[in-house]
Structure 1
């Protein structure tokens, strides 16, 4: 049986939907904090179980009978994230899973320039110490981040962001399809190749694409990191979240989120979704 954590979240649910194309529903279980949020999956025959990384005792039942466990990384940072990931990985091993998969990041590395990077690297260290087969999915940076970065650029005509480097923007839908394929067909040991969209683009290119999609030309304006952070905080963004965004740009300048890699396209059996395609669906000329 395949157990997917975060089964009511965007990525976890996407993986389950793709698994249902290939695996009988009763061969899939989801671990969720709120079972009511996955009631529709239960109605389709998926086993829905309560499991909370913050309450490790709940994971014994959530992972019972698992052959494989997909640990979807949490929306948290620092010590909290590391403790929760460790709890989930260790519970999967204790449940007898023959393979543990973890949704890591293309930019995972020990240093904290990008705040989430060391948390993912720490989870990979935990996996490596388990003694059971494991796979770390080196997921590209979510394309879903781009509309947030664009903000009101279509109306102002300016995209004011710090200096950046190329990012291989990748859709969650593609990552879900690739992950399901690995769960069904067999995943490699250790860290995968980067699972990314088809090209790495800097924000100059993003501004050009967004302008073409919306029909409103957008000029890219480079601002200092400190100015960007101040603007974010002034708009109500918490300081820690502003720091994470500033760090994202610094890490991109270092090349942490590039280059693009063809592995994901090979897994999904078609070209990976381009940022232009994604923005064409996410944005409208009215914006």
Structure 2
């Protein structure tokens, strides 16, 4: 591998992908960064800054073969097409192998191998595909994003309630920017990353009752958390306009959190990024400022 490896980020127009590219640009020259996206026009601003933008669609292997040419290290950001992730990821892994990519870093889920969350299934399958590929890989097992809860801030402040099925489960969430910084650190590391497994989580875990109390403090209005049975919470989400499948997934994830599925106190994320992770209070304050 060259002393200045070329680094590619898939899904680079997404919320996480863009942040990873920005984090990479803080570490390396733009000429070393390649942003892969279905529609390159969406990243014209990055192209203007010297980042090479390439077309890549998880469902079109021919685009992947062209996109990965000359790439040394690749970040596979997991697809958002739940239920279709495995074949999409398999296409990326196969194309990366054919292109001679030296490292695939993959955004998995926290403690995927023992996670109680239904979301973990496709991540475990992808991890197995990586192991079978023979390509060196690193696993970035991310816990929850603090941003996952931003959509309920306004209704929680308006009605004084936030609902869920997480019970007393502690959620070690961090910001997307934290996870993006970790991915950039792995892609640019001088130490060999093949075989590394990072369990990445926020420094300060919280229960949903504590989340509500923190929002109340920051927002200046009373907010309480009301725990519901899984089926009732899913039904409530459907009632508020979410598709049934997505509502079920969110309710299942909450129940998984109640079983410890989103908790880790190992501190790997903070060590990897060289600073404390974003606090819940800071994230909520920033969200309220808009």
Q: TM-score if structure 2 supplies the norm length?
A: 0.93
Q: What is the CA–CA distance in structure 2 between the aligned matches of 1:114 and 1:149, rounded to whole Å?
A: 21
2:173 touches 2:202 (CA, 8 Å); kept in 1?
yes
Residue 231, structure 1, aligned to residue 233, structure 2: no
Q: How does 1:29-178 map to 2 (within 5 A)?
A: 29-78=34-83, 80-109=84-113, 114-150=117-153, 152-164=155-167, 165-178=169-182
Against the structure 1 CA distance between its residues 187 and 120, is the aligned structure 2 distance closer, same or farther, given a 3 Å change threshold?
farther
Matched residue count = 283
1:84 and 1:149 map into 2 onto residues whose CA distance is 31
Indicate the SS of the match to 1:100: strand
Asked if the contact 2:38/2:56 (under 8 Å) is kept, the reply is yes
Q: Distance in 1 between matches of 2:186 and 2:203?
A: 19
Give the Cα separation in 2 of the matches to 1:223 and 1:17: 39
Deviates more, 1:240-249 or 1:21-30: 21-30
Counterpart in 2 of 1:23? 28
Conserved 8 A contact 1:135-1:187: no
Structure 1 unaligned spans of 5+: none
Matched, 1:265 2:270: yes
- Contact 1:3 1:66 (8 Å CA) reproduced: yes
- In structure 2, relative to structure 1, the CA distance for the partners of 1:187 and 1:228 (3 Å cut) is farther
Match of 2:288? 283
In the alignment, does 2:9 pair up with 1:4? yes
Query: Shift of residue 191 of structure 1?
Result: 4.9
1:109–1:118 CA distance, 2 compared to 1 (3 A): farther
Q: Distance in 1 between matches of 2:113 and 2:154?
A: 29
Give the TM-score taking structure 1 as reference length. Answer: 0.94
Q: What SS does structure 2 have at the residue aligned with 1:138?
A: strand
Distance 2:247 2:90 in 1: 26
Moved over 4 A (4+): none
Q: Give the 3 Å change call, closer, same or farther, for CA 49–163 of structure 1 in structure 2.
A: closer
Query: 5+ unaligned residues in a row in structure 2: which ranges?
Result: 1-5
Once the two structures are superposed, residues 70-114 of structure 1 have per-residue CA deviations (whole angstroms, 9 ceiling, x without a partner) of 111111112x11100111111111110111111111042477x53
Backbone CA RMSD of aligned residues = 1.7
- Over 3 Å counting, the alpha-carbon distance change for 1:150 and 1:248 in structure 2 is farther
Q: 1:239 to 1:107 in 2, by over 3 A?
A: farther
The more displaced of 66-75 and 214-223 is: 214-223
CA contact 2:103–2:194 (8 Å) conserved in 1:
no
